Every structure is written in structure tokens, then in C-alpha cells.
Amino acid sequence: MPGMVMIAKRDALNSGLMFRSTDYGATESLVWDNRDYSGGGFTELARSQTTPGTMFATTWYETAAAELLKSDDFGESWTVIDGNDNNHHAMTDVVVAYNNDDILYTFGDGLVAKTEDGGDSWTQVSDGLPSFAGIYDGSISPFSSDMLLISSDAGTYKSIDGGVSWYLIHDSDCKVVEFNSVLPGIAVMVTFANEVLISYDNGETWQAFDGNISADYTDVVYSPNGSTVYISTTSQGIYTTELDLAYVSPSAVTTTVNAFNVTITWNAVDLASGYHIYRGEELVGTTAADELSYMDYYVLPGEYMYTVVSLFNGIEAGVSEPVVASVDENALAIPGNLVYEV
């Protein structure tokens, strides 16, 4: 919803307040109040990727069970999800499967819980996780609802089977870890030592960014096309860095000219949903994921620069190296499908 801003917080007494604005924060209204000390302060907000207006929120409380809240009207009203028997005393995060709102995971106090029916029933999915380690953050892959990452006091863990089993992928204690919501394979985490690490293979290996953050961080988010990382801090503003998108950029782009028609071909990009073809700055064509060539018809004589851009869920990502095609005004078409009969 344009103009909508949600603010969920906890005060010094760990009670929760949630505010909603529809004019980019110029005015706001109170939509949830836990100052009666039931449910606790808010720790996370998450939204559905498939159902507009559906949102979830988690709470943390010292002396009562945590609550999982849901809204179906863009945050205007909230209810505690029935059957929230996930045994969390303190919830730190909730994630929603990208293709199914009924699949949720909640995290906190050394536990991970999963529901596949929108919260009516829950299953503990914490095998392989150290029970002594607090879990601070969780993230779900936009390309698989069974692939998850969590950050904890004992390091960063990964599951590829929906939480049935977990294994350690980095041993530095970590508070924030986030999959890229657009581009496959990318995840970013920030350790308690404020070291920023990035993975291009779904968390199996990690490499450090140049330079670390000089202040305590609060969150990691990505730009709408996934190419930029933003890391917010408590006292030093927002840090930003650009990702290397070479691995999602079409390669081996070629052009073939036949009279006034130009055919462009390229190699596939893994998990891309399609491609855009540009002549200069003009978008001249779109293809599906399995269509790795495009013919630009009736091109006027001249020299042109073609590029191919990969798409992920309709969002432009990696850009190929440009390739030149020259159309000669005196060119003749190369005949095809000729048959000679005697």
C-alpha cells in the first residue's frame, strides 16, 4: 500500500506498541497496545509475498509466553493466531514462505517452530541446534520454503529440509542473517564483532566485505532489485554496498545480422524467470526462461549495442556485456529453407 509505514516497538518495561501510518509517517495511529504487560514487546514484522495486506508480528516477554500476531488488512487490525502452541517464551523472528502463507517458522530461545496450516498446529524443528544458544534471526530462501538460515550465539546454521535437520555453516556468533529476496544464492550476515559476510552459494561458503561496520547494527535489507545491501546501525546511520551480479548476468551474448533482422543469443542464467533484450537503452523484447534467443526485426541501417538482462520474478537483475551489431543498408537477406529439385 503506497504511503504505509508500520512501526512496532517495545518500551523500557518490555511492553509492546504498534503504530500505522498511511502518509509516509506524517501522521500515525495506534493499532496494538500491550502496556497491560500481556504478550510483551515486539521483535519482528513480516509480510506475505503472495497475499497483499497479510502481515505477521512476534513478541518477547520475560514472564509470559510470547505471541504471534496476524493482520489481513495492511496492519489496521491484529489478532493473536489461534493455536499458537509453539512453546516460545521469547520469539525473536518470524518468516513466511514466499509461495504459501500457511507455512511459517518462528524463532527464539533456542527453538524453531513450524506450521503448515497457518498457525493452527505447530511442530518443533530444532534437531541439530544447540539448546543453550539463543536464536536471534531467521531467513527463508525465496526459491525454496525448505531452505532456511538462522543466526545464534553458537554460529549460523542451515536447513535444507524444512527444519528437520540443521548443520553449522559458520562458527562466528551472529545476530542478523538474511537471504536476498530477489537473487538466488545470496545471503548476508553481520557478526557480533560487526563483521559483514556475504555468501553467493546459499550460505555454504562466506567471504568478508572490505571494511567493517564501526557501530552496532540493527538490521539487513536489500533494494527492490536485490543489487544493493543496506545495513542499519544504532548510531552511525545506514551503511550500503553493491553486490557483484556477474553470476546472474547472461554470458556468451552473440548477434547475427540477416538483412535488417538481428538475432541475439546468450547462455542461460540459473533460476532466471526470463530475460529482457535491449537495443541501446530501448527495451525491444522479452523472453521466457527457456528461450535463449531473440530476433529483432526490421532494424534500420546503423550500428547498435545489444544487452541482455536476466529477470527474477519479473525484476531485472544481471546485465550482460554489450555486443555490437551492424546493419548494412545494402544488405540482402540470407535465403533459408531452399529446396532444389531435379
Average pLDDT over residues 201-218: 80
From residue 119, give the alpha-carbon distance in Å to each of 43, 123, 136, 216, 326.
18, 10, 21, 34, 60
Q: Does residue 281 or residue 216 have the better pLDDT?
A: 281
- Of 100, 29, 89, nearest to 58 by C-alpha is 89
Given a contact cutoff of 8 angstroms between Cβ atoms, the answer to whether 68 and 85 are in contact is no
Given a contact cutoff of 8 angstroms between Cβ atoms, the answer to whether 89 and 66 are in contact is yes
- Asked if residue 83 has pLDDT above 50, the reply is no
pLDDT reported for residue 59:
84
What cell does 188 get? 548476508
- Asked if residue 127 has pLDDT above 90, the reply is no
pLDDT reported for residue 233:
84
With bands split at pLDDT 50, 70 and 90, how would you rate the model's confidence at 63? low
Average pLDDT over residues 6-21: 81
Sheet holding 68-71, edge to edge: 41-47, 55-60, 68-71, 79-80
- Asked if residue 85 has pLDDT above 70, the reply is no
The residues that bridge with 42 in the sheet, in sequence order, are 59
What cell does 150 get? 538462522
pLDDT reported for residue 169:
95
CA atoms within 13 A on the CB side of 13: 9
Q: How far apart are CA 95 and CA 56, in angstroms?
A: 9
Q: How far apart are CA 229 and CA 223, in angstroms?
A: 7
With bands split at pLDDT 50, 70 and 90, how would you rate the model's confidence at 60? confident
pLDDT tens per residue, range 174-192: 889 999 989 999 999 988 8
- SS3 category, 321: coil
pLDDT reported for residue 305:
97
Whose cell is 553458537? That residue is: 154
Backbone CA torsion sign across 190, 196, 200, 205: negative
Mean pLDDT of the chain: 87
Average pLDDT over residues 50-64: 82
